[in-house]
Each structure stands twice: as C-alpha cells, then as structure tokens.
Chain A
Amino acid sequence: MSKTIEIGKLTDIPKLGSRVVKTQQGNIAIFRTMEDEVFALHDSCPHKQGALSQGIVHGKSVTCPLHNWVIGLDDGEAKGHDTGCTKTFEAHQEGGMVYLVLDEV
C-alpha cells in the first residue's frame, strides 16, 4: 500500500533547487525545475553517496556536489558514461502544494 503525503508548499523549494524530506526510508530530496515540475530522489548519489539535494539543478538533471556525476531527476539514472541509479519516488504538485507518494513500510 502506498500513501500520498502533503509535504509543503511549492514556493518553499527554490527554483532549480531542492529541499530534503526526512523519512524512515532515509532522506528524500525534492527538486523543483525551472518549469515548476517536482521530482523526488533518494538523497544519495549512486557513486559515493553525495547529497544530491546539495547539487546544482539544470533541466531535468542534478549534478552531485562531490564528484560531478549528473543524475536524471525523472529516472534516477547517471548520465553520460557513468553508470548507476538512485531510487526515485513519485512526487507531484497541485494547487501550489507538493505531494510525495511513499510505500507503507
């Protein structure tokens, strides 16, 4: 079973930025793109566990602050010649509020 949780206002996340949601499954980074789309990824780079929430967001990608791996926000996949994948979560915004969908543990 999964549940949809209201986690805050869209405007609480900076454009091309990210905020963290603490969960029992670990930290989840919520990203906001220039077009106000939101995405959610496990806050950990597949390379050396850098905090993706601290990276620079561009298009639908984020660059990890530790070693510049570029991770796709929509699929969690490392881009270019790097290989690795970060767990994705379903997130969306509606009426200015942001929602995260989590599996019940």
Chain B
Amino acid sequence: MREKLVVIGNGMAGMRTVEELLKIAPEKYDITVFGAEPYGNYNRIMLSPVLTGEKTVEEIMINDLDWYKENNITLYAGEDKKAVDIDRRNQKVIAADGTEAEYDRLLLATGSNPFIIPLPGHDLDGVIAFRDIADVETMLQASKEKKHAIVIGGGLLGLEAANGLMKQGMEVTVVHNLDVLMNRQLDEPSAKLLEQSLVERGLSFKMNANTSELKADENGHVKSIAFSDGEELPADLVVMAVGIRPNIELAQKVGLHCERGIVVNDTLQTFDPKIYAIGECIQHREELFGLVAPIWDQAKVAANHLAAYGIGIYRTQATSTKLKVTGIDLFSAGDFTGDDETDDIVFQDPKRGIYKKVVLKEDKIIGSVMYGDTIDGSWYFQLMKDGTNVADFRDSLLFGQAHMGDSGHAGVNAAADLPDSAEICGCNGVCKGDIVKAITEENLYTLDEVRASTKASASCGSCTGLVEQVIASTLGGDYTPSESEKTICACTNYGHDQVRDAIKPNNLKSFHAVSDFLEFSNPDGCHVCRPAINYYLLAAWPGEYEDDMASRFTNERMHANIQKDNTYTVVPRMFGGVTTAKDLRVIADAADKYDVPMVKVTGGQRIDLVGVKKEDLIPMWKDLNDAGMVSGHAYGKALRTVKTCIGSQYCRFGTQDSTGAGIRIEEMTWGSWTPAKFKIAVSGCPRNCAEATIKDVGIVAVDSGWEIYVAGNGGIKVRVSDFLVKVATEDEVLEYTGAFMQMYREQGHHNERTAPWIERVGLQYIKDEIVENAEKRKAYYEGFLLSQKFSQKDPWKERASEGVAQNDFIPLAEV
C-alpha cells in the first residue's frame, strides 16, 4: 500500500523535489499536486527570454500535462484548485473549490509573491509585477497597444523586464531609488558601465528617484508616474520589480511556525514533522532564497528524507549571479564591497567596457564583480568556494585562468562566442550545438546532467570548463557552476574528502564496508567510485588492504595499456632511462617472438611494445623477467618514469649526476600507487634537457645543489611547476620527493593530478607542511617508505611466475 504525498505548489521547487523522489523511490508514494496556475510546470527563470521573444512559452515548459499522467501524479491546477486550507489533525489539504486530498507527508512549495509598494495608485489597471506567465502576457499585450512603460526597480528582475519591453518596441524608463543599479550584485563602477551600455541600447533611467504617486486616467487605468521632485512621466504600463516576499499565508493560517519565511530545519522539515517545505517560501538558518541553485540542493535533500533514506542535510552554498540580457556580460558573487581587512584587486578598461574586481581577505577570494569580460567568473567562484589560497598567483589573478596555461582548445576559452559547429569535447566529438540542444530540449541544469546526456567532458574531463561555460551561457541567470565539494559520482551524495575521511575512523576496510556505511544508492558502486575507493583503501591501510582487482581499470589489471583494437602495449621499466645492449637484445627478441607490430620509444625514455595480444602477455613478461626486467607501470595511476639527462658524468655543462640521482629516485618510488599518474624528471643543469619543470616532481641541478619543483604538467593543461625548495644533497632530494608524493597520495582526489590538486589547496599549504615543518616532512617521508615496502612488487613476476590470477589472461573455454 503506497503512502500519500501531497505537494502544494506546482512550481520549479516542488516538481524538482518530485523528480528527485521519483528517481530514488518511484514506488513509495501516490502523489497529488495542487497548483494555482493553469499549466504544467515551467521554468520561471526563463520568463525574461519569453518576454524578449527569444523563447516561447512551450519552450520553457519543464513538465507538460502528459508527464503528470505518465508518472501517475494527480494534478489539480488552476485558480479554483488553489490550496486554501490544511487540516493538520486529519492530514488533508483543501482547495478553493472544496477538493480534498489526504496526506501522510505534505510538501509546501508555495514560492513567493512579488512585493508591491503601497503607493497611491498601486492597484490601478496597468500596474503589474513580473512573476508569472500571466504577467508576461499582460506585458506583451501592452507592448502592442501602448507606448510608455515604467519599470520600478533597477535590480536583476527589473532590468530584465525593461530590456524585454524595450525589445517589444516600448519606450522604457527604469526608476530606481539608489544611484547604483543592481546594488545587491554590483559596485559603483560596474553599475555605471552597465547603465551606460543599457542607455546605449535605448533604455532611460531615473536614478535616486522617490516615487510619490501613480496617477489614473478616467477609466481607472494608470497614465503617469509622479516623483517627489515634481517630475511626472507618462506611463501606460507600470511593472513593479522591487523584490519578492515568501508566500507564507497558508502556512501561517494553519499555525506552522513562520518568521519571514516558513521556518525549516536542515532536513527541510517544518515544525510539523509530517510537513516539509522547500524553495522561496522557506527560511533556513535566517536565510531566504531566490535563486535556483540552492533550491536544487534543497530538492535533493527533501526528496532523500521523503524517501525515508534519512541521509543528507541542507547547507547553503555561495551563489553567483548573471544578468539575462543578451549581449551584456556581468558576473557577481560573494562579498564584493569589502572592508578594512580586505584587499581589492581591480582591472579597469572603460574604453572596452571592461571592469573586474576580486576581493581578497587573507589571500582568499571572498567576492568578485565582473563586467564586460566574465569568462573567469566561474573560476573565481570555484576558488572562492574551495577557499584556495591565491597568494602565489595573485599578481596574475585578474588575467584569468587562461593565463595559468591551457592547451588543446586552440586558445579558445570563450564558449559564448563559439559557433554551434565548434567542437567542445574532443574525446567524444560533441559540438557546442549538441550541448545547447540537449540543455534546452531536455531541460538540463547541471554539469552532471549534461555529461550524462551528451558525454561532453565525460572522458578526459579537460573540456569541463568549456562545457560549464556553454551551460552558463545557455541557461543564463541562475546557473551555479558546481558545488563546492563535488560528489564522487551518482552512487553517493558524498565528496572525495568526505568518503576518505570516513575510512580510517570507522575502520572501513573494503569497498562494500564503505558503500554500506555511507549508504550508497548502488551497493556495488560504479566504474567511477569503485577505483577511487579502492585507491583510498589502499592508501589508508598499507600492507593490510588487499587490492581489489575487480575495482581496477583494465590497464591496471592487465599491467598494460588497452588499445582501440583491444590489444595491449608492454613497457619494461628502464631506471632513469638507462638501458644496455643486452636488455635491448632481449626486447628485440620479444618483439620478434610475439610478432609485435610496432616498437616505439616513449616520451618517458623507455621502449614500448605496441599491439600485443592479451594471451601473449604472460609469456612475454616471463621472457622479460627472466632477463631481469620488470614492469614499467606505464599503464597505471602510479609512478611512471623518472626522466633524466646525461648529467655531470658526461655532459660538459652538467653540474650534478642527474642520471644517478634519477635512478636512485626511481628505485625508491617505483611501484607506488598515486591518485593519478605521477611523473618525475631530473635535469643536470638549468638548461633543463629532461623538461623537469613540467613534471609532478622536477629536480634541476645547480652548482650548489638541487632545486625541487612540484606540480608541473605537460598534458591536457600545460602547467609550469612551482619552485618548492632548494637543497644541498641527493638524500634531501629523496626525502622531499617522498614527502611530497606521500602528501599527494594521502590528500589528492582520485584522478586529480598534482597540478589541479595544488591549485585547489595552494602551494603555501604544501610549503607549510613539508618545507617549514621538518617533523611533518619526515613523517610523510616515513609513511611513504612504509607503504613502499608493500607495493614494490613486480606485478609481471607475480602473474608470470607466481601464478597470481593467470586465469584472467586465458579463455574460460573454447567451444
């Protein structure tokens, strides 16, 4: 027998919760929805494009009436079906026309009402708000017959309304009571640029205005607006867009505790435990809501509790704002006014109409305002939410993320200006047009949804930033780039750090222990979380946790890289890139014996046997093992190679024995598992022939010792490494290298290379831990050496000679 859920409010918040609920507990409830508007559920934030004519009402429908039928939801829609009472004792909802519905759980999603200033004349015909489809229809009608429009309120919504009315051919004046437009999102310089550009487009402004009265014509229709300074402007239509108030009328009437909004706890429950509330009608920890991003988060939490899973609490995240006026780029987030304890970094180019301001407090971003060039808005926003220390790049911060180095997109970073045919995701061949189409046709809002639908950024992830830009420019308004801590995957609501932090204190020692403890929605997880958690367990319990092969990607299971034709590549380790004539003969013999189609030198100074058949792997390894060679781990999230130059042994410029040092480092680090692949190089002089400054750890020899660099990357995103420290001896090089690797092993997210890791946590933090603090450095180093005791086993030998899981390489049967 299903329980009964009633939802009051057929808006975005309520239906999003229902959608989330249907995803996780489709059989739990019979659902009834009451809505005062006679439609299905539509995307209210897209009303502005409807007003400008860029979209139609049909295009902004999220769920049409058929959707309710398909999901067996009873919908009571229309003015006479408005819920007017709740009988809390008998648990039923009563509508205006007497329709009743009983509930076991009730969800209030009554939204908000536009605030109407109680001016003389505020109730005249032709005075409206900008809130729903009916308002938009009134405006569109007025624009056909009338000329003069007044918009009261120079905030986000007011400017969007004014822009829309102007596009429909009206003469529009925006009346604002301050001299800064969008004063909740902009500071004075950026607001002036915005005002200027809107004036150029044809809008008029009356700033610092004090409205005294709306005057009527003989039919009781508004005809003009009068100000306290004596000025009077003609007005055929007045739109009030001065803010919203939570709609708490019904909640108050039935005795639910309300303050400014309906008060809810962290699980979105009201003071009546059977009644939940969500969206613009609620007040959570003193805060009210008006943007879509936090409401999506609320929907997830509310659905989880309605489904009786009982996990997840709601916490407000920072939000950002953009203006949905085509051609105007504006971004604002956080605290952008600052105070005595903050620093403003400002870039101004009035001629090009560009203004950027980032506000720092103790070297962390706490807010930003941008006008004219907003490409880096989402980057600043992410740095702000991550609390990243930006001290090391604050001198180039305002030049943007592109300045930090980026390759593979032909230098293109501004998705908004790209044509539909531009390829965004090179791995999966997804063009901008495909993404835009998916977003608008399937009503996608988040990166995850776009990824699932289009595969864009689902493989290597290098285009994630571009994809986010496409989503932002398509959705406009209220898109929030990504949550501050991303969840590992759809199996769980927890992020990497949360999962990791749960492992040791709770003594979790297998994937299923983790997935049970954290109540994963799929007990077996998926191809994303299983390898991640397998790695975290391996790092947490060295010597104790048994590596789970079923959770390893095939390359790490086969100790070889899978190729597009399902053959593999075999790479023997060459310590420091040094080989011998004897080893080369053995490799050549193996290439002949197993008919290897290609022999190639790798970028890491080794030899790659390409195109080996799976069943030849074991015998080939045996041959190489017998000649003294071991696996090069060219396939793993592990230490790959230590690349070296010739160094002082032979080179006339060499200052130190870089080859010898490289061999020692590789002997110490080989076999270690890391969150993502890890590359090291050692150069014997500052000419840097080993290209050490684009490696995860790069060592550059100088006359007086060794310079150590970290977090370089030569791959998807080129990043020159940061200088960590200079040391005198090879032993110190080993200690710092081991300590840095261990810190990354313990704290990096699975699949996150050192470059994004260091940009997330900040170089200063690394320095504090392993340069400034000798004790911690030694502890990390010892931790590394301990875990190496258990991981320096040649996987080839284990499988070729010791009989470990040889089955994997041979068919179960031939029939």
Contact = CB atoms under 8 A, between A and B. Distances in A.
Given A15-B550, A56-B531, A59-B524, A21 B459 contact: no
Interface stretch (B144-152, B222-230, B558-566): B558-566
A22 B811 contact: yes
Contact of A20 (B526, B552, B811): B811
Interface in A15-49: 15-17, 19-23, 27, 30, 33-34, 48-49
A23 B815 CA distance: 5
A14 B550 contact: yes
A86 interface: no
A102 B530 CA distance: 33
Contacts of A55: 527, 554
Contacts of B68: none
A49 to B, nearest CB: 8
B812 A30 contact: yes
B553 interface: yes
Residue with the highest number of chain A CB atoms closer than 10 Å, among B459, B526, B550: B550
Nearest to A3: B815
A14 B809 CA distance: 13
Nearest to A14: B550
Interface residues of A, number: 41
Contact of B815 (A12, A57, A65, A100): A100
A85 interface: no
B815 A5 contact: yes
Given A16-B550, A30-B812, A55-B554, A70 B527 contact: yes
B458 A50 contact: no
Contact of A102 (B523, B554, B555, B815): B815
Contacts of B808: 14, 17, 19
B814 interface: yes
Given A55-B554, A63-B526, A65-B553, A22 B562 contact: no
Contact of B553 (A33, A56, A70, A102): A56
Residue with the highest number of chain B CB atoms closer than 10 Å, among A57, A68, A82: A68
B233 interface: no
B551 interface: yes
Interface in B141-165: none
Interface in A61-75: 61, 63, 65-68, 70
A80 interface: yes
A19 B454 contact: no
B196 interface: no
B798 to A, nearest CB: 16
Contacts of A13: 812
Contact of A7 (B459, B526, B558, B813): B813
Nearest to A15: B550
A96 interface: no
A8 interface: yes
A28 to B, nearest CB: 9
B804 to A, nearest CB: 12
Contacts of A14: 549-550, 805, 807-808
A21 B814 contact: yes
A19 B527 contact: no
Contacts of B459: 67-68
Nearest to B522: A59
B113 interface: no
Given A54-B558, A56-B531, A17 B550 contact: yes
B658 to A, nearest CB: 37
B814 A22 contact: yes
Nearest to A23: B815
Interface string B514-540: 000000001111110011000000000
B524 A81 contact: no
B523 A68 contact: no
B523 to A, nearest CB: 7
A50 B151 CA distance: 60
Nearest to A5: B815
Contacts of A65: 553-555, 562
A7 B813 CA distance: 6
Interface string B305-322: 000000000000000000
Contact of B812 (A19, A59, A63): A19
B410 to A, nearest CB: 23
A63 to B, nearest CB: 4
Nearest to B805: A14
B453 interface: yes
Residue with the highest number of chain A CB atoms closer than 10 Å, among B531, B554, B805: B554
B601 interface: no
A58 interface: yes
A66 B564 contact: yes
Given A56-B553, A58-B530, A67-B428, A16 B524 contact: yes
Contacts of B811: 19-22, 27
Contacts of A81: 452-455
Nearest to A60: B524
Given A56-B550, A56-B553, A7 B566 contact: no
Contacts of A15: 550
B812 A57 contact: no
A48 B812 contact: no
A17 B71 CA distance: 36
Interface in B756-815: 805, 807-808, 811-815
A56 B459 CA distance: 16
Contacts of A49: 566
Nearest to B531: A56
B452 A80 contact: yes
Contact of B526 (A34, A50, A58): A58
Residue with the highest number of chain A CB atoms closer than 10 Å, among B428, B455, B805: B455
Contacts of A66: 562, 564
B294 to A, nearest CB: 27
Nearest to B814: A22
Contacts of A17: 549-550, 808
A67 B566 CA distance: 12
Contacts of B551: 16, 56
Contacts of B428: 67
Residue with the highest number of chain A CB atoms closer than 10 Å, among B458, B522, B527: B527
A100 B815 CA distance: 10
A20 B549 CA distance: 17
Interface string B400-440: 00000000000000000000000000011000000000000
A67 B430 CA distance: 14
B554 A21 contact: no
Contacts of B812: 7-8, 12-13, 19-21, 30, 98
A21 B453 contact: no
Given A13-B812, A19-B811, A20-B811, A58 B524 contact: yes
Contacts of B452: 80-81
Nearest to A25: B815
Given A58-B522, A67-B428, A19 B807 contact: yes
B549 A56 contact: no
A82 B526 CA distance: 16
Residue with the highest number of chain B CB atoms closer than 10 Å, among A5, A15, A20, A51: A20
Interface of B: 427-428, 452-455, 458-459, 522-527, 530-531, 549-555, 557-558, 562, 564, 566, 805, 807-808, 811-815
The 7 residue pairs across chains A and B that have the minimum distance between CB atoms:
A63-B527, A19-B812, A54-B554, A16-B550, A58-B524, A7-B813, A56-B527
8 contacts: A7-B815, A16-B524, A19-B808, A51-B562, A65-B562, A67-B459, A82-B455, A100-B815
Given A27-B811, A54-B566, A102-B815, 6 more contacts: A12-B812, A15-B550, A19-B812, A20-B811, A34-B523, A65-B554
Interface of A: 5, 7-8, 12-17, 19-23, 27, 30, 33-34, 48-51, 54-59, 61, 63, 65-68, 70, 80-82, 98, 100, 102
